[in-house]
Amino acid sequence: MKIGIIAVFVDYHRRGRKNRTALQPQIGPLLAALLPGDADVHYVNEAWRDPDWSREYDLLFISSMHSDFDRARQISHYWRRRGARTVYGGPFASSYPRLCAPYFDAVIVGDPETTVPAVADDFSRGALQPLYHGREYRSEAVPTPRFDLIADQAKHALCFEATRGCPFQCEFCVLTGLGTRHHTRPIQAVLRDIERGRALLKGRVPKPHLNVVGFCDNNIGGNLTYLRELCKALEPLRLQWYAAATFNVISRPALVEMLARAGCRTLFVGLESFNPAAIADMKKHQNAVPKIRAALEHCRENGILVMAGLMLSPLVDDLAYIQRLPEYLRESGLHVPTFICFECPIPGTPHFQRLASVESPPFLPNALLRDFTGYTLVLKPARAPVPEYIDAYRKVIADVYSWRNRVRKLADDLPRFLKRGRWLPALFDAADVCATDPSPAGSRSLLAGTDTEPPERVPFDDSDFASDVERARILSPWRVTDGEGRVLERWLESAPVYPPPKAATRAAGRKLTASAAA
Ligand code: SF4
C-alpha cells in the first residue's frame, strides 16, 4: 500500500518561498509511525520541499492550517483524480469537519493516535468512513515518530514532543478554539524518543548535530512541575535544546537557571505586545509587560536566546503605539523580533466568534480564508483609517528590520553568549537576524480581499475538471466575509473538540494559571 502524507504550506509573505527555520511541522513522522509497518510511506513537508506531482498514492493524508485550506483542497482533488483516496486532518479539519467533508474521502477530528490506525485499517478493507473522531488522549498511545522520513531536514535538529495542548486560553489561539486541554508525556517516553532519534541520525548528520534537539510543543511550560522534572532528566544528557514556552517560564529567574543547566539554549516566546491593553484584550494574562526587560536580560545572562513574536492589535493599538514600537524593542533589549504581524481572528477561535457576533462586525469586506495568516489585515483598525494603519505597519517593519537595528541586536547579544561559550544561541541569533526578511512587497495591498494572490500552484491540466463549475469549486478561494464585511453564516458553526476540563482539573488549572501570572 502506497501512502502519502503532505503537510501543506503556503508562504504567508506571498513570495512562494520555503520556510526552513528550526520549527518545522512534526505531524508527518508521527502519522507515519501510526501506519502499518509494511506500508510504503512517503512524507512531504511543503515548508521544506515541493510534492513530487508524478507520485502515485493509494491513500493520501493531508494536513494544513486554516489559511492553507484552499491549497489542501486542491491537492486533494489532484490526487483523487489520479486514483488516490484522501484524508484530511489538522486544526482546520477539527474546527470545520462538515465544510471540509465534500473535498476529501475522510476527515479526521482530534488527535491522530486512534484515528489514523482506524483509517488505515478501514481503507485496507475497502470500508473507509467519511468522519473519524479521535478518542481520549492516552500518552502511551503516542509512538516514536518515524524520524527516518525527515533525516534530510535534520540540518537544525530533530524535534520531540513532551507535552500536548496548553492550559492557557489566549483568545486568538487556535488551540483555545479547539478546546483547552494539556497533557504531559512520561519523561521516560520522551528520553526514549530522543535516544532512538539520535541513533537514527548517527552517521547521517555532522556529529555536533546529534547533541542539539528541539521540542515542538506549543508550550513546553504548560505544567511547571513537569518542566522542572524534564529539566532534571535532561541535564545529565548534556544536550543543547530549544523549545517554545510562554512568558510565565521566562519570568521565573530560578526556572530560567534550571533550564540553562538542563541545556536549554533558545526559547520562542509569544510576547505579542508591549501594550498592556492589547495583552488584556487578547486574554494573554500570563504576559506581564513591565517584566519583559528583566526576563529577557536574565535569559541572556544565562545563555538562553529568547526569540519572540509581536502582534499589532487592530482594535486596540493606535498609530502612536505602532510608531513607538522600535523604542519599546530597544528598551526591552529584544531589538528585532522574529516577526511582527497583525492579531488575526482565525475562524473557530473565541476571538473570531466574539467579533463575528457583534452588531457591526469589524471585518474588512470580501476577506478570504487565505487572508487569515496575520500578515494580511482582515479587521478595520478601530483607531486609525486603514491606509494610515497600513502605512504605519510598513514603516515600522522597515525601521525594526533595518540593518542598523539588526547589527545593534547582534552587538548586544553575541558577546554575552560567546563569553559563556554558548555558540548555539549565538548561531541561532545570527541566523534569525540575518535571514528574516519580513518587508512586504510594495505590490501587496496587505488588505483582505485585495491582497496579492499566493504564487503556489497545483499543476492541474484541463482534464482534471469535469466542468467549469467543478473547476471553480476547487480553485476559487474560500470567502469568509461578504461585500459588507459580514461573516458568512457557515463560519459560525465551529465547536470545541476537546471537552472542558473536569471540575477538579479545572480548579488545578486555575491555580496553575494564577501562579503563572504572579
Ligand atoms: S500560551 Fe500560546 S499556545 Fe497557549 S493558548 Fe496562549 S497562544 Fe496558545
Q: How confident is the model at residue 515 (pLDDT cuts 50, 70, 90)?
A: very low
Whether residue 422 has pLDDT greater than 90: yes
Q: Which atom of ligand 1 is nearest to the CA of 166?
A: 4
Question: What is the CA angle 83-86-91, rounded to 5?
Answer: 165
Please name the helix (run of DSSP H) or strand (run of DSSP E) that holds residue 269, with its range, or none: strand 264-272
Q: How far is CA 338 from the centre of its chain?
A: 13
CA distance readout (Å), 453 to 11, 375, 462: 11, 13, 21
Q: Is 19 exposed, middle or buried (0-12, 13-18, 19+ CB in 10 A)?
A: middle
* Percentage of the chain exceeding pLDDT 90: 89
- Are 120 and 39 in contact, with CB atoms under 8 Å apart? yes
Query: Is the pLDDT reported for residue 514 higher than 60?
Result: no
Whether the per-residue pLDDT at 39 is higher than 90: the answer is: yes
What value does the mean pLDDT take over residues 128-149? 95
For ligand 1, atom 8, name the residue with the nearest CA: 173
Q: Identify the residue whose cell numbers are 476537546.
A: 498
Q: Give the pairing of strands 163-166 and 181-184.
A: antiparallel
Query: Over 70: is that where the pLDDT of 517 sits?
Result: no
User: Quick one: pLDDT at residue 25?
Assistant: 85
Mutation probe of ligand 1 site: the residue of 218, 224, 286 with most atoms within 8 A of C-beta? 218
Express each pLDDT in 328-362 by its tens digit.
999 999 999 999 999 999 999 999 999 999 989 99
Predicted local distance difference test score (pLDDT) of residue 502: 61
The Å distance, Cα 173 to ligand 1 centre, comes to: 6
For residue 22, give Cα distances in angstroms to 32, 109, 154, 508. 21, 27, 9, 33
* pLDDT class of 437 with cuts at 50, 70, 90: confident
Neighbours of 29 (CB within 10 A): 24
CA of 92 to the centre of ligand 1 (A): 17
**Residue 283 alpha carbon to ligand 1 centre in Å:** 10
Residue 457: C-alpha distances to residues 63, 90, 123, 327 (Å): 17, 21, 29, 40
The confidence score (pLDDT) of residue 21 equals 82
Distance 77 CA to ligand 1 centre (A): 33
CA 111 / ligand 1 centre spacing (Å): 18
Give residue-wise pLDDT tens across range 236-245: 999 999 999 9
Q: Do 166 and 283 form a contact (C-beta atoms < 8 A)?
A: no
Residue 76 three-state SS: helix
* Whole-number pLDDT of residue 20: 85
Nearest atom in ligand 1 to 168's CA: 5
pLDDT tops 80 at residue 501: no
The b-or-e profile of 94-117 (16+ CB within 10 A means b, else e) is bbbbebbeebbbbbbbbbbbbbbe
Average pLDDT for the chain: 94
Q: Please provide residue 44's backbone torsions phi and psi, each rounded to the nearest 5 degrees.
A: -125, 115
Report whether 479 contacts 369 (CB < 8 A): yes
pLDDT tens digits along 103-116? 999 999 999 999 99
Instruction: Give the Cβ contact number of residue 299 at 10 Å.
Output: 26
What span, in angstroms and rounded, lies between the C-alpha atoms of 439 and 444? 11
Cα–Cα dist 441/45, whole Å = 26
Q: How confident is the model at residue 503 (pLDDT cuts 50, 70, 90)?
A: very low
Residue scoring higher pLDDT (157 or 96): 96
Q: Please tell me the distance from the alpha carbon of residue 364 to that of residue 436, in angstroms, as a whole number.
A: 28
Calculate how far, in angstroms, residue 250's C-alpha sits from the geometric centre of ligand 1: 15
Percent of the chain with pLDDT over 70: 96
CB 274 within 8 A of CB 289: yes
81 CA → ligand 1 middle, Å: 39
In this predicted structure, what is the pLDDT of residue 491?
Answer: 98
Task: Give the dihedral of Cα atoms 19, 25, 26, 29; nearest 10 deg.
Answer: -70
**Rounded distance from Cα 155 to ligand 1 centre (Å):** 27
Phi, psi of 9 (to 5 degrees): -145, 130
CA-only gyration radius of the chain, Å: 23
Instruction: Give the CA angle between residues 343, 346, 347 to the nearest 5°.
Output: 155
User: Any idea of the CA torsion for 185, 187, 188, 191, to the nearest 10 degrees?
Assistant: 100
| pLDDT tier for residue 485 given thresholds of 50, 70 and 90 | very high
Across residues 90-118, what is the average pLDDT? 98
**DSSP H helix total and E strand total for the chain:** 19, 14
Secondary element (H or E) of residue 510: helix 503-517
pLDDT higher than threshold 60 for residue 511: no
How far, in Å, from the CA of 34 to the mean position of ligand 1? 27
Q: How crowded is residue 196: how many other Cβ atoms within 10 Å of its Cβ?
A: 14
**Best residue for ligand 1 mutational test, from 173, 251, 282 (most atoms within 8 Å of Cβ):** 173
pLDDT band at 26 (very low <50, low <70, confident <90, very high): confident
pLDDT in tens, 358-398: 989 999 999 999 999 999 999 999 999 999 999 999 999 99
Q: How far apart are alpha carbons 77 and 85 in whole angstroms?
A: 10
- Dihedral angle computed from the Cα positions of residues 9, 214, 94 and 66, in that order, rounded to the nearest 10 degrees: -30
Residue 417, classed as helix, strand or coil, is helix
Ligand 1: which of 23, 161, 164, 176 to mutate, judged by most atoms within 8 Å of the beta carbon? Answer: 176
| Cα–Cα distances in angstroms (integers) from residue 200 to residues 25, 31, 256, in the given order | 19, 18, 31
Ligand 1 site, CB within 6 A: 166, 168-170, 173, 175-176, 218-219, 246, 270, 284
Collapse the DSSP code of 51 into the 3-class scheme (helix H, G, I; strand E, B; otherwise coil) and give the result: coil
Cα torsion through 246, 251, 252, 256, rounded to 10: 70
Contacts of 9 by beta carbon, 8 Å cutoff, 6+ apart: 18, 19, 25, 45, 46, 47, 68
Nearest CA to ligand 1 atom 6: 170
pLDDT of the residue at 209: 84
User: What band does 513 get if pLDDT is binned at 50, 70 and 90?
Assistant: very low
Residues 174-230: tens digit of each pLDDT: 999 999 999 999 999 999 999 999 998 888 888 888 899 999 999 999 999 999 999
Q: Hey, what's the cell of 374?
A: 496575520
Pocket test for ligand 1, best of 164, 174, 176, 246 (most atoms within 8 A of CB): 246
Instruction: Tell me how far apart the alpha carbons of residues 60 and 88 are, in angstroms, rounded to a whole number.
Output: 9
> Relative to the CA of 167, which ligand 1 atom is closest?
4
Cell numbers for 392, please give them.
504605519
> Which residue among 168, 178, 249, 344 is best mutated to probe the pocket of ligand 1, counting the most ligand atoms within 8 A of its Cβ?
168
Distance 476 CA to ligand 1 centre (A): 32
Q: What is the pTM of this model?
A: 0.94
